[in-house]
Structure 1
Amino acid sequence: MDGLDDIVEEFLVESHENLDQLDTDLVALEQEPDSRERLSSIFRTIHTIKGTSGFLAFHRLEEVTHIGENMLSRLRDGALDLTPQRTDALLEMVDCVRSLLASIEANGGEGNVDVSAVVAAISAAMEDQPAATAPAPVEPAAEVTVAPKPARSRKAAARPAAAVASPAAAPTPRKAPARKAPAAKAAAAAVPVAEALVPSPAVPVPAPIAEVPAPVSPVLPSPRSEPIVESAESDGAPAAEGAGGQTRRAVADSTIRVDVDLLDELMLLVGELVLTRNQIVQYVGRSNDTDLLRASQRLNLIASELQEGVMKTRMQPIDHIWSKLPRVVRDLGMQCGKSVRLEMEGRETELDKTLLEAVKDPLTHLVRNSVDHGIEAPATRTGAGKAAEGVLTLRAKHESGQVVVEVADDGAGIDPARIGAKAVERGLVSPDALSRMSPQDVLQLIFLPGFSTAAAVTNVSGRGVGMDVVKTNIESIGGTIEVESVPGRGTVCRLRIPLTLAIVPALTVECAGDRYAIPQISLQELVALDAEKAATAVEEVGGAPVYRLRGELLPLVRLTDVLGLTSDRHDGHVVIAVLRSEGRRFGLVVDRVINTEEIVVKAVGGQLKAIGLYSGATVLGDGAVALILDVQALARRALRTETTDRQDAREGAALASASETERQRMLLASIGGGRRVAIPLDTVTRLEQVRTESVERVGNREVVQYRGAILPIVRLDRHLGAYGESDREVLEVIVYSDHGRSVAIVVEEILDIVDGEAAVRSDIDDLGLLGSAVLGDKVTELLDVRAAILAADPAFYSAPLPTTPAGVPAPLLEV
């Protein structure tokens, strides 16, 4: 169906099915002409085809079905009696509709199919006029595949209309002849054969063609579901042939309807097959039988392909639920007095049908929330320099074995200060806890039960239910939700959803002698540390273990601590599974990694579910049962502990150094976004300028060659989340050196050197800061210099600089 619109293709499929049933119903109606139920069924079918054809602008198809609908309506209401002439007229209508559909499928339009004869025949039948008063026009034989039909009599029991019915139709008393292709050369070949076999051109061609003996069959046209009665010359190249000259399958033959319950049952069987496959593969892996190994590899390949094929049968484009959202946005926009344009990207992205149904309500709620809370009124938008019309964008894509769905608006954004104040007001969080939260943590408060910023309760929002349900529903299917927002610019809600819930790839790990499965959708990487490196690389911040992974602080959770068990590994080695949840990363420390395999997810009982650490269970290849860890629950535990303890540690460090700060002279620097930082002058060795083009990379870290050494760089704007100008040709650099090691701290501009003794201080801080102070009549952030230096060079304070054999310090960067 190259080039056909999806709507037209679906219309053709359904119409062909309806026409096959119509053939059966019309013939059966002759046996029981008083059956109102059968008449009503025929009427509804023709009415459906008529309505859709009008919508798709197929005017001739609409015309012929409209006149047929009129007759059926009068027959149904008892105004007319069913006579042989009227039955013939209705069957001719079915033939004509079939020809029109064949032309639409082959050429994308109705071609030159003439419907006037059929319209005249039906009109005459309704008025009880002789059928001969509306003869079909005779066209040149060279331009048609099917010879012109005279008015049919009751005698023609092997009705040509029935003769061209698809063999797929339900059994009828009429004889189904061979089907014909619409190609021009097929038409040219078919007519001469027909003329050679029949004594008179007045006899309809289709019936004789159906009885052509086998020796003549090579000159007949290729089989085709529907005949086309228009000239191929007038409508372009033959549409019946595909690549290589082979007959293309008709649209009616390219789809099949299957009950969803049957697909679910098939999926369960495939799941059991996967489990058995895993067991056989593990068993054969311990065997030395080459033939058995080869057979198991073949089984593995076939099972994987079968699993993929069955999963595809359950996949549906996300547009199935998106298609309802334009109306939601339009109605809600009018209700709120806002002008909103909805844009969609990735409508063809496919998702498992079960997950598609599960995500429908959460997605609808996020869209309503964006229109109601996110996008401003037109007057407000124009006052802020925006277009009066707001833009709401839906995006969907496949990424790392999952589907990522974004709901983004260009509205007012979310103000963390307002969110925090409302959460405190509603008693959802204490002021002390709020003061220790980062802005990203504050945004997550919108998912707390009972949270709402609406000023009044309306039929749209304000009751404090919704976002918590959204998060619960998404997590119940193994997904996550993240929120990003920039005040004044807009908000993005990002859903990460697994492709399917039935069979998922997983990492099998061991802890205290037991095995557990971690869905790979949440796994980013594995880090293995030997005993020597683990002793120095794993640090303690506020009593919580952390690991610096490529300069980023990674909070650690020991699975043994979570489960209340004792590790059976005593060699000092540490294995970290780096996981991602809700936009944050953390490390799960396990005893050892076993392998990766596809697992079949099984539900767990209420007692295990209530623990809150397991999302399911599975049977491993050796027959052992393993629990599937709930990564979201582990993340909440890890990040909550890390955030609280780390913030408390920073507060203690800030208070301990308060008197020291008063006596220090401070270097003021801007880092972009209107933010200023203060850096103790005794941590400044030199001030330099470095050209941007001289910055190079080692792995994921930036370095610069400076005075015969390689200096690691930390950009304060990125380190502190300010993100200043990125197109500057010259970088302002603060160099700090100690014990033969140096780092380069990049700022936007050096402002001044001030005395910090009389500064008005505050413990209001954020990640990477020790607090804030009023310096030069402006609030200035106090930089945590140690954290910034460690971000550039994690080994800066832990080891002296290695030397070369000649005793000269080696380059400063450890790779």
Structure 2
Amino acid sequence: MDGLDDIVEEFLVESHENLDQLDTDLVALEQEPDSRERLSSIFRTIHTIKGTSGFLAFHRLEEVTHVGENMLSRLRDGALALTPTRTSVLLQMVDTVRSLLASIEATGGEGSVDVSAVVAAISAAMEDAPVPAAPVPAEQPAAEEPALEEAPVAAAPEAAQSLVPAPAPAVEVPSPVSETRVPASRREPVLEAPEHAEADTPAADAAGGQARRAVADSTIRVDVDLLDELMLLVGELVLTRNQIVQYVGRSNDTDLVRASQRLNLIASELQEGVMKTRMQPIDHIWSKLPRVVRDLGLQCGKSVRLEMEGRDTELDKTLLEAVKDPLTHLVRNSVDHGIEAPEDRRAAGKPTEGVLTLRAKHESGQVVVEVADDGAGIDPAKVGAKAVERGLITADALARTSPADVLQMIFLPGFSTAAAVTNVSGRGVGMDVVKTNIESIGGTIEVESVPGEGTVCRLRIPLTLAIVPALTVECAGDRYAIPQISLQELVSLDAEKAATAVEEVGGAPVYRLRGELLPLVRLTDVLGLTSDRHDGHVVIAVLRSEGRRFGLVVDRVINTEEIVVKAVGGQLKAIGLYSGATVLGDGTVALILDVQALARRALRAETNERQESRLAALSAAATDTERQRMLLAAIGGGRRVAIPLDTVTRLEQVRTESVERVGNREVVQYRGAILPIVRLDRHLGAYGESDHEVLEVIVYSDHGRSVAIVVEEILDIVDGEAAVRSDIDDMGLLGSAVLGDKVTELLDVRAAILAADPAFYSAPVTPAGVPASLLEA
């Protein structure tokens, strides 16, 4: 319902369901007046409506259900006997409640529905007094609004007392629910009432006059087991779809290809729809945490404020249940260990009230949940000392371990830095269970901390476990699947390049990817197999796990497809390299690789020697400009510039007509963001031809910001190794060099970027993707 709060909407849905059941129960109760079980059920239903209406400040609804609850309580306790009159006034109460709910649904409030008559009727029925007849105005026009609101509750008590037909004016009174409650002698006239009622209820759309579905009819309750079964069937459909699409791809029958494409589309939409039915906002588990934080804060003598961001982020119901306990444990841990006592915070110059922040968002096909506190943080030195004390690591190994890896030791079994054991923190177990539980659903957990400033625990959870997109690779003749949630990019090296590009640093294979050394793991080595590829080509799948990247070397990449995840047996699970299995489109079975387990092999603690070698290699890569590959571009007037290839994110073509202005700067809309433009011809004083319909654009991106550098023509990519260089420069240049037998100017890329976006290296990007500098233009 538009404009209704989610709590009110849920209250309306449940109340309508309960009222329908009350109608049945009250009528059946007349046949079994001594049924305590049915009376108790009716009492609980009315009690629930009364309690919620009081909480939501619907006072008239609370008043009428309160007096009804009093009668039901006395009936249940045997203090009153059920008579037809009492049944009638209870049914009248149900009708009045229904009218109030209709008004709440239409306007958000109780409107002008009068409850005094029905309250008086129920009170009189409890005292065995004659039920008062509500006065009916002598000449009340049917078209007046007050009559439409007040008459339904005025006519019903009369119906409960007498079978005499009401005076003629009452025939016009709308009562959309009363036709099944009144005696037969009055039923005929009242049947006309719903036509009048619908004209003033939300069922008619004011704009178009079309009927609008009521809130009670807009939802349906479905058993979770049925949804699970439906998801399994959709999974099997996806498998069959994959097989048909692959088979038809080898066919020349046009009609068959068209039919398979249609099947592919329908199956994808059905899969998406079924998955949506299982999605629930993370607020379902967050809603219980404010109470947890409050109680723990009082218990620990701390003042803690809980803030939540992204409560509407949706997650599969199964995963939501799986993440509930780990999340609760992290919150308890932050309050107990993370946030300091008020006197300690005051001494550290902090507010005495600690802040615990929960954040959730969708990112790259997964849900990222953060538990952040502004407490004392975690000191890696203390963590390392505790790990050595407990025998979890040797002192020598600790000295060779980076601070970031030391922090991950808090997830080791039996680890705790608590000075004292409390009934909140337990006895040093829990964080290892959190990690195990998160990894069991295909997720990861990372911890970041700054001593004195706070700690952030970051969970990365897949949206669903049932059907996931994956990359299929081959190794030693067998097929394996890699979930695309962990895949960043693919790199293919021919034999010549692989011989020089893959190096060894500190005894471990690495590949320099755009200036960054990437640790490599050969899948054949992990599996103890022999590669069947002997041509020297190297295929690297660049994967990300626990905040760090590594490269997985495979024999071949087959394709990408959506896979249905099947559980593996205990023997395969014990190996620790597989998270499941699937059936591919060609009918073969493929094991799904556990990226976290592979990452642990690649990203073991580096030795001092390896760290020094890595830093030296990075330094050499930064200073060795002789071997840097360059992009050559013409800027007009016969001038050419060379741009380091590692500063080029991508090359694009943009139509001139799509260039717009913000103040005195040119911009272009690109992939949902606004990119500032710098034209190199103007920047360097060349001023070439400007009547091109299509602009050649070099896009450079870094830390979420991008700029577009416009050139006249992209010429070539060359190796600057043997270039004859000169320090002769000019504004916007670093010098010049002979590249391709021609003198080429070496572009000062930083100056060009700052010409497009002066705040590129300092100011943040706004949420809308607009550089902050443009907002000031």
Residue 9 of structure 2 is matched in structure 1 by 9
Residues 455 and 462 in structure 1, CA contact (< 8 A), matched pair in contact too: no
Residues 512 and 568 in structure 1, CA contact (< 8 A), matched pair in contact too: yes
Match of 2:357 among 379, 393, 398: 393
2:611 pairs with 1:647: no
1:209: how far off?
Answer: 4.9
Residues 163 and 185 in structure 2, CA contact (< 8 A), matched pair in contact too: no
Q: What is the correspondence of 1:116-127 to structure 2 with a 5 Å cutoff?
A: 116-127=116-127
Residue 379 of structure 2 is matched in structure 1 by 415
Q: What is the correspondence of 1:329-728 to structure 2 with a 5 Å cutoff?
A: 329-461=293-425, 463-640=427-604, 643-644=605-606, 647-649=608-610, 699-700=646-647
Residue 693 of structure 2 is matched in structure 1 by none
CA deviation profile, 1:750-809 (whole Å, cap 9, x unmatched)? xxxxxxxxxxxxxxxxxxxxxxxxxxxxxxxxxxxxxxxxxxxxxxxxxxx995354979
CA deviation profile, 1:382-414 (whole Å, cap 9, x unmatched)? 222211111110000111110000011111111
1:82: how far off?
Answer: 1.3
How far, CA to CA, are the matches of 2:440 and 2:342 in structure 1?
A: 38
Structure 1 residues 41, 137: closer, same or farther in 2, change over 3 A?
A: farther
Structure 1 residues 811, 156: closer, same or farther in 2, change over 3 A?
A: same
CA deviation profile, 1:238-287 (whole Å, cap 9, x unmatched)? 67416533221101101111111111111111110000000000000000
Q: What is the correspondence of 1:9-28 to structure 2 with a 5 Å cutoff?
A: 9-28=9-28
How far, CA to CA, are the matches of 1:504 and 1:305 in structure 2?
A: 15
Residue 804 of structure 1 is matched in structure 2 by 739
Structure 1 residues 536, 257: closer, same or farther in 2, change over 3 A?
A: same
2:288 pairs with 1:281: no
Residues 361 and 367 in structure 2, CA contact (< 8 A), matched pair in contact too: yes
Q: What is the correspondence of 1:722-761 to structure 2 with a 5 Å cutoff?
A: none
1:175: how far off?
Answer: 4.2
Instruction: Indicate the SS of the match to 1:267.
Output: helix
How far, CA to CA, are the matches of 1:604 and 1:136 in structure 2?
A: 74
Moved more, 33-42 or 281-290: 33-42
1:35: how far off?
Answer: 1.6
Match of 1:152 among 144, 154, 159: 159
Residues 725 and 738 in structure 2, CA contact (< 8 A), matched pair in contact too: no
How far, CA to CA, are the matches of 1:347 and 1:370 in structure 2?
A: 19
CA deviation profile, 1:648-700 (whole Å, cap 9, x unmatched)? 3457999x9xxxxxxxxxxxxxxxxxxxxx99xx99xxxxxxxxxxxx98654
For residue 128 of structure 1, what is the amino acid of its counterpart?
D
Structure 1 residues 260, 422: closer, same or farther in 2, change over 3 A?
A: same
1:329: how far off?
Answer: 0.6
Residue 39 of structure 1 is matched in structure 2 by 39
For residue 62 of structure 2, what is the amino acid of its counterpart?
E
CA deviation profile, 1:486-536 (whole Å, cap 9, x unmatched)? 111111111000001111110000111111000011111111111121111
Superposition TM-score, scaled by structure 1 size: 0.73
Residues 202 and 212 in structure 2, CA contact (< 8 A), matched pair in contact too: no
Residue 217 of structure 2 is matched in structure 1 by 253
What stretches of structure 1 of length at least 5 have no aligned partner? Answer: 167-173, 178-201, 213-219, 657-677, 684-695, 709-717, 719-736, 745-800
How far, CA to CA, are the matches of 1:293 and 1:321 in structure 2?
A: 46
Residues 242 and 248 in structure 1, CA contact (< 8 A), matched pair in contact too: no
Structure 1 residues 164, 812: closer, same or farther in 2, change over 3 A?
A: closer
Structure 1 residues 584, 21: closer, same or farther in 2, change over 3 A?
A: same
For residue 436 of structure 1, what is the amino acid of its counterpart?
R
How far, CA to CA, are the matches of 2:164 and 2:504 in structure 1?
A: 93
How far, CA to CA, are the matches of 1:512 and 1:701 in structure 2?
A: 36
Structure 1 residues 83, 488: closer, same or farther in 2, change over 3 A?
A: same
% identity of equivalent residues? 81
Residues 724 and 738 in structure 2, CA contact (< 8 A), matched pair in contact too: no
How far, CA to CA, are the matches of 1:323 and 1:556 in structure 2?
A: 43
Residues 445 and 546 in structure 2, CA contact (< 8 A), matched pair in contact too: yes
How far, CA to CA, are the matches of 1:336 and 1:492 in structure 2?
A: 21
Instruction: Indicate the SS of the match to 1:245.
Output: coil
CA deviation profile, 1:584-638 (whole Å, cap 9, x unmatched)? 1100001111111100000111111111110100000010000000000000011
Instruction: Indicate the SS of the match to 2:113.
Output: coil
Residue 255 of structure 2 is matched in structure 1 by 291
Structure 1 residues 804, 697: closer, same or farther in 2, change over 3 A?
A: closer
Residues 124 and 132 in structure 2, CA contact (< 8 A), matched pair in contact too: no
For residue 288 of structure 1, what is the amino acid of its counterpart?
N
1:163: how far off?
Answer: 7.9
Match of 1:303 among 267, 276, 280: 267
How far, CA to CA, are the matches of 2:54 and 2:188 in structure 1?
A: 33
Superposition TM-score, scaled by structure 2 size: 0.77
CA deviation profile, 1:101-124 (whole Å, cap 9, x unmatched)? 000011000000000010111111
Instruction: Indicate the SS of the match to 1:587.
Output: strand
1:325: how far off?
Answer: 0.4
CA deviation profile, 1:69-98 (whole Å, cap 9, x unmatched)? 111111111111111211111111111000
Instruction: Indicate the SS of the match to 2:419.
Output: coil
Residues 527 and 577 in structure 1, CA contact (< 8 A), matched pair in contact too: yes
Residue 142 of structure 2 is matched in structure 1 by 141
Residue 100 of structure 1 is matched in structure 2 by 100
Residues 124 and 133 in structure 1, CA contact (< 8 A), matched pair in contact too: no
Structure 1 residues 315, 59: closer, same or farther in 2, change over 3 A?
A: same
How many aligned residue pairs are there? Answer: 643
Residue 210 of structure 1 is matched in structure 2 by 191
CA deviation profile, 1:574-593 (whole Å, cap 9, x unmatched)? 11111111111100001111
1:647: how far off?
Answer: 3.1
1:567: how far off?
Answer: 1.1
1:164: how far off?
Answer: 4.0
Residue 70 of structure 1 is matched in structure 2 by 70
For residue 344 of structure 1, what is the amino acid of its counterpart?
M
Residues 117 and 137 in structure 1, CA contact (< 8 A), matched pair in contact too: no
Residues 20 and 165 in structure 1, CA contact (< 8 A), matched pair in contact too: no
1:154: how far off?
Answer: 6.2
How far, CA to CA, are the matches of 1:697 and 1:389 in structure 2?
A: 51
Residues 103 and 111 in structure 2, CA contact (< 8 A), matched pair in contact too: yes
Residue 195 of structure 2 is matched in structure 1 by 221
Instruction: Indicate the SS of the match to 1:562.
Output: helix
Residues 117 and 136 in structure 1, CA contact (< 8 A), matched pair in contact too: no
How far, CA to CA, are the matches of 1:375 and 1:569 in structure 2?
A: 55
What stretches of structure 2 of length at least 5 have no aligned partner? Answer: 625-642, 650-679, 685-701, 703-719, 728-735, 750-777
RMSD of equivalent CA atoms: 3.6
How far, CA to CA, are the matches of 2:419 and 2:570 in structure 1?
A: 39
For residue 77 of structure 1, what is the amino acid of its counterpart?
D
Residues 394 and 407 in structure 1, CA contact (< 8 A), matched pair in contact too: yes
Residues 316 and 353 in structure 1, CA contact (< 8 A), matched pair in contact too: yes
Residue 57 of structure 1 is matched in structure 2 by 57
Structure 1 residues 625, 806: closer, same or farther in 2, change over 3 A?
A: closer
CA deviation profile, 1:354-401 (whole Å, cap 9, x unmatched)? 000000010011111111111111122122221111111000011111
How far, CA to CA, are the matches of 1:743 and 1:48 in structure 2?
A: 85
1:743: how far off?
Answer: 14
CA deviation profile, 1:314-371 (whole Å, cap 9, x unmatched)? 1111001000100111111111111110000000111001000000010011111111
Residues 372 and 455 in structure 2, CA contact (< 8 A), matched pair in contact too: yes
How far, CA to CA, are the matches of 1:639 and 1:496 in structure 2?
A: 18
Residues 118 and 136 in structure 1, CA contact (< 8 A), matched pair in contact too: no
